[in-house]
């Protein structure tokens, strides 16, 4: 009988080992990426156009991020090439490297594109992309001409909602701001990326101390006194482990991203005022954070415990009934035996 009661604390102590349905990872982060080829019939031209230099400026605000991408492209061929490139809308991307994370593209706002300094109109098209995303129903698409053996500068501006990110581990989760930049999208072009820089600046009261997780870890360097981070790379053929993941700040209740997006031009002017590519990083210091995927809030353990008890309660009740029947039978047998002894 006593073994039944010993079973209850054993189950409680084994709670952490109990499998759960909530997959761990980084979810619902606002996302950005580099230039991506759109039409499959243009794929033959990919070997002719190389991304020689890339500068990505990321400005972090409470609830959103502003991104300015500068892409210096060189046509390695002997003839001009016109390519149609695009950016996904209402699409999803999942990766297991460096940890499970889920990227959404539905929060893109106020997209602006310039080619060699001149504005270019974008249009919406149905998904016919040579690059596959899950549920990519629509794309922002524009055309760019690449003259032979000439650098062409493509500049892209956009804003994303970062306020709905989750870091989950089992039934525990943190509601945070999250941003992901898919640097790996640059591997579609000819060869590797010759050189590049990712520049991150905390804005409007945010500090680097508000960045509680970052990947790739240990590669970023921070300014001695400004709220700025820099990551430089050269001759990179980017893969999933090169994608930029940021966890910062806390979630704002009843946040209205659309209100921030109305001031996009003001934010883009701020991005233009920062010459990220010219920053000298000699005096920059190493920057480290705790594990991006570590969950601080463990309140979900109670829900998991309740679920576990719901699963095991019928078994415990059955064992209790069996134990009671056995106990009554043994007690009755002892009484009969005692009566026979008299």
Express each pLDDT in 201-220 by its tens digit.
Answer: 999 989 999 999 898 888 99
Listed in sequence order, the DSSP H helices in 224-292 are 257-261, 264-272
pLDDT for position 169: 77
Dmax over CA atoms of the chain, in Å, equals: 115
Which pLDDT value is given to residue 257?
92
**Residue 129: what pLDDT?**
47
CA–CA separation, 177 and 51 (whole Å): 30
CATH of domain 25-286: 2.60.40.3680
User: What's the full length of the chain, in residues?
Assistant: 342
DSSP-derived 3-state class of residue 89 = strand
- Neighbour count for residue 73 (Cβ, 10 Å): 24
Q: 51, 189 in Cβ contact below 8 A?
A: yes
Q: Is the C-alpha dihedral spanning 128, 131, 132, 136 positive or negative?
A: negative
Q: Cβ(105)–Cβ(36) under 8 Å?
A: no
Q: What sign has the CA pseudo-torsion 56, 61, 63, 64?
A: negative
Segments in the chain below pLDDT 50:
1-22, 129-132, 134-136, 298, 300-307
The pLDDT tens digits of the residues spanning 149-184 come to 899 999 999 999 999 888 877 778 888 898 888 888
CA distances from 114 to 55, 68, 318 (A): 15, 11, 71
Predicted local distance difference test score (pLDDT) of residue 241:
84
- What are the helix and strand counts (H, E) for the chain? 4, 20
* CA-closest candidate to residue 277, choices 74, 55, 123, 70: 55
Q: Tell me the DSSP string of 158-222.
A: EEEE-TTEEEEETTEEEEEEEEEEEGGGGGGSSS-EEEEEEEEEE-TT--GGGEEEEESTT--EE
Give the pLDDT confidence score for residue 45 in this predicted structure. 73
Q: Closest Cα to residue 38, out of 92, 81, 83, 1?
A: 83
Q: State the pairing for strand pair 193-202/49-61.
A: parallel
Pairing outcome for strands 221-222 and 123-126: unpaired
Report d(CA 215, CA 162) in Å as an integer.
16
> What's residue 67's pLDDT?
94
């Amino acid at each position: 009988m006593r073994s039944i009661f010993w079973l209850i604390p054993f189950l409680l102590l084994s709670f952490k080992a109990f499998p759960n349905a909530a997959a761990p990872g980084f979810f619902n982060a606002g996302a950005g990426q580099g230039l991506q080829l759109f039409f499959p019939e243009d794929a033959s031209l990919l070997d002719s156009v190389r991304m020689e230099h890339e500068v990505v400026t990321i400005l972090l605000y409470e609830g959103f991020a502003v991104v300015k991408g500068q892409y210096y492209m060189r046509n390695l061929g002997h003839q001009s090439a016109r390519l149609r490139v695009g950016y996904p809308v209402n699409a999803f991307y999942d990766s297991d490297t460096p940890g499970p994370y889920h990227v959404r593209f539905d929060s893109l706002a106020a997209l602006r594109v310039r080619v060699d300094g001149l504005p270019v109109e974008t249009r919406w098209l149905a998904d016919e992309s040579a690059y596959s995303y899950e549920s990519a129903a629509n794309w922002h698409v524009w055309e760019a001409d690449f003259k032979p053996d000439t650098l062409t500068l493509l500049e892209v501006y956009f804003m994303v909602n970062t306020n709905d990110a989750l870091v989950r581990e089992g039934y525990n989760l943190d509601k945070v701001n999250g941003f992901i930049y898919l640097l790996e999208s640059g591997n579609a072009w000819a060869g590797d990326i010759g050189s590049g820089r990712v520049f991150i600046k905390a804005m409007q009261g945010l500090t680097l101390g508000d960045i509680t997780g970052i990947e790739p870890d240990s590669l970023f360097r921070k300014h001695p006194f400004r709220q700025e981070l820099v990551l430089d790379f050269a001759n990179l053929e980017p893969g999933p482990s090169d994608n930029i993941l940021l966890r910062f700040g806390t979630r704002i209740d009843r946040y209205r991203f659309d209100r921030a997006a109305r001031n996009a031009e003001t934010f883009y002017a701020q991005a233009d005022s920062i010459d990220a590519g010219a920053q000298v990083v000699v005096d920059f210091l190493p920057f480290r954070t705790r594990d991006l995927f570590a969950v601080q809030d463990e309140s979900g353990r109670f829900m998991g415990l309740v679920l576990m008890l719901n699963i095991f309660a019928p078994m415990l009740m059955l064992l209790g009934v069996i134990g009671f029947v056995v106990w009554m039978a043994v007690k009755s047998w002892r009484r009969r035996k005692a009566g026979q002894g008299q």
